[in-house]
Amino acid sequence: MLIVTNVSKSYGKLSVLENIDIEFSNGVYGLLAPNGAGKTTLIKMLTTLLFPNEGEILYNGTNIFHMGDGYRDILGYLPQEFGYYKNYSARQFLNYLAALKGLERNLAKVRINELLELVGLANVADKKMKKYSGGMVQRVGIAQAMLNDPKILILDEPTAGLDPKERVRFRNLLAELSRDKIVILSTHIVSDIESIANEIIMIKDKKVLYKDSINSICKTLEGMVYETSIDYAQANRFRNHYFSLSEKQEGDKMKIRFISENKLDDSWESVSPNIEDVFLYVYKDEVIKEG
């Protein structure tokens, strides 16, 4: 169990996270929040790159910052901006990281081969990484995160740069792994976690807004999401009244999906809210600020 207790973090006078309380146990957690909400900060604290100003993070009862090697031994981390040595091959790079992770030499060899196979890079394992496509580099990143068979796997935007086929593959892989691990996925791509996340964590206004199953979170918008078709000319007026979630061309009309407290028109069709709807709705002030 990984428990975040009353954790706060600020940079100088700028407070980023306040009184964060989260409990993680085995399973897949989706960390959903726009950039700047404190997502990366939280992840960096979980990976010991940052130190909380207040509160503690405990793994099986012990403060992770006091555990030293022991914590990082069971940690696998794929950062958002993933740095690597251009002149190394994937195998050489994984070898280097295996040494850093304290893997015994022979075990490392075996493991590396397995992982290269798993992420589909076995053919190009000995080519210099500067020749890799973005997707290939990302796959190396995923492989290195799993080198030490971690109990806690933290992946920041892991599917960035992967094509849809690779993303499916990745999703299946994660689903398998998560049975005996804590997997924390930070992503914007809802489809990544929709099918595999046990719980979604949303951070808003420096605090945890939701930590619940997808179903439960979607229920918060139950009966508030509608779809209808309107003329393009009316689109603007419509948007001024109701919060638009998505818009699609359908023939000569626009199909709009939106939020309304009540059903105010028969042509409106009530639909089941999905997690993306909740995301857009919850963060709409920030969206409007940007827009």
Tokens of 159: 């599917």
- In the list 25, 63, 99, 270, the residue contacting another protein (rule: CB under 8 A) is 99
**Residue 48 C-beta: closest distance to another protein, Å:** 6
> Which of these segments, 84-92, 226-234, 245-253, 281-289, binds another protein (CB under 8 A)?
84-92
Applying the rule CB under 8 A, the residues between 52 and 81 that interact with another protein are 68-69, 72-73, 75, 77, 79, 81
Scan for tokens 């809210």, then name that residue: 273
The secondary structure of residue 89, as a DSSP letter, is: B
Helices 105-118 and 134-145: crossing angle in degrees, nearest 10, is: 140
CB closer to another protein, 81 vs 265: 81
User: Does the footprint of another protein cover residue 232 (CB under 8 A)?
Assistant: no
User: Does the footprint of another protein cover residue 83 (CB under 8 A)?
Assistant: yes
CB closer to another protein, 74 vs 259: 74
User: Does the footprint of another protein cover residue 89 (CB under 8 A)?
Assistant: no
- In the list 1, 19, 51, 271, the residue contacting another protein (rule: CB under 8 A) is 51
What's the CA gap between 35 and 48, in Å, rounded?
20
CB 43 within 8 A of CB 31: yes
Which one, of 109, 107, 8, lies nearest residue 50 by Cα?
8
Q: Order of strands across the sheet with 199-204?
A: 75-78, 152-156, 182-186, 27-32, 199-204, 207-212
**Residue 147 C-beta: closest distance to another protein, Å:** 9
CB closer to another protein, 82 vs 226: 82
